[in-house]
């Protein structure tokens, strides 16, 4: 997904580009936002996003409870789908990144 990038504290990434007179031409940084959107979906609990109160995996709930890996995966899959993220594609990409980084 393409959009405006956020930093690790979810503030806009801004890198102003000025013209010869010092006027701002651009500032916000566009890019692939899939990772930041996935992170937000995983961190949010249902009801936190006014535009879609049903979205939000609420991983802290699973950390405190006794849930099977299948139950957690089903919940993540359904919320990713709701957010427009292809779960299988994202999971495969993360596995490749983990294997590559681990070498």
The answer to whether residues 73 and 80 touch, using CB atoms and an 8 Å cutoff, is no
- The distance of Cα 36 from the centroid of its chain, to the nearest Å, equals 3
The answer to whether residues 37 and 55 touch, using CB atoms and an 8 Å cutoff, is no
Write out the residue range of the structural domain in which residue 5 sits: 1-32
Number of domains observed in the structure of the chain: 2
64 or 55, which is more confident? 55
The answer to whether residues 57 and 79 touch, using CB atoms and an 8 Å cutoff, is yes
Tell me how crowded residue 1 is: count the other CB atoms within 10 A of its CB.
13
User: Do residues 47 and 63 both lie within one domain?
Assistant: yes
User: Do residues 49 and 17 both lie within one domain?
Assistant: no
pLDDT, residue 99, reads: 66
User: Do residues 25 and 38 both lie within one domain?
Assistant: no
pLDDT, residue 50, reads: 93
- Read off the pLDDT of each residue in 29-38 and give the average, rounded to a whole number: 93
């Amino acid at each position: 997904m393409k959009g405006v990038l956020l930093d690790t504290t979810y503030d806009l990434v801004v890198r102003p580009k000025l013209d010869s007179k010092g006027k701002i031409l651009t500032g916000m940084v566009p890019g692939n936002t899939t990772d930041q959107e996935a992170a937000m979906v995983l961190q949010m609990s249902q009801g936190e996003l006014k535009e879609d109160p049903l979205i939000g995996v609420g991983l802290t709930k699973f950390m405190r409870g006794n849930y099977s890996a299948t139950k957690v995966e089903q919940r993540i899959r359904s919320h990713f789908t709701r957010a427009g993220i292809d779960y299988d594609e994202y999971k495969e990409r993360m596995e490749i990144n983990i294997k590559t980084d681990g070498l």
